[in-house]
Structure 1
């Protein structure tokens, strides 16, 4: 499996570690940068490229996922989620890494290089890469609602239990 990586300066060391770890574990890492430490670099430059590569390869039927890394992982997740076809999950535990795949069919994971130990973050990525989407109907339905909104800008219909309540009433 090909794994696309992008980060900012805060994630550079983890990205370099993961590149080696992925190779040692039979993955094909593709590093989208940065390649040198620059405290003023802009994470969208690198994270958008990693996410766009995942989206393009998946559209071609290839087996690929992505990892984006920053200080907290929040901005990197936001950047990746701007790419059509990407669902990026922020992982801060093994459980959130697994649920991002199982329930959301996330194809990119974001981790915070300043939030956890190197060992923990490596484990979050490993769990993400080795967990499959459950395919449960409720998760497929929810992902479909999100995908539809992305293309139509139309909100999904309210369930009967919500009709006549809230701001849409």
Structure 2
């Protein structure tokens, strides 16, 4: 398996992880090539893996009882996502669909737990990573709950401009994540 490119930027949800942590994660992941339209997991599957996008795009969705699909998140190169059941029998509460042909690093829960037990500094970084993702999710829910759809849209656009915006002459544009 090839090593991860350790170049990171603020667009990736792993931007704050150290080279040591990313290298440790690389050492325990296996590579999987996944075709566009495929699913990494479905709602209700056992949550026992994390996924690192080496190349590609994945969308996280939730379907309603009447068949509507809501996009909860979009992930791309350098992003890490998934849930771990640890000591509970947790199932995924959403689907993860590959949007274009992708190369995904898969990290098994049992392998990650060994590293977290053995290397405290990696465990602390991992805890910070999970806290970051939790804060992002809470912000989205807060905006929708307290500011309605229009307020949530405005907040999302502001957050995207702050995170992914680039000045193009006198205007701002958004880079595709």
| TM, length-normalised to structure 2 | 0.29
Structure of greater relative contact order (alpha carbons < 8 Å, 6+ residues apart): 2
| TM, length-normalised to structure 1 | 0.29
Q: Which has the higher strand share?
A: 2
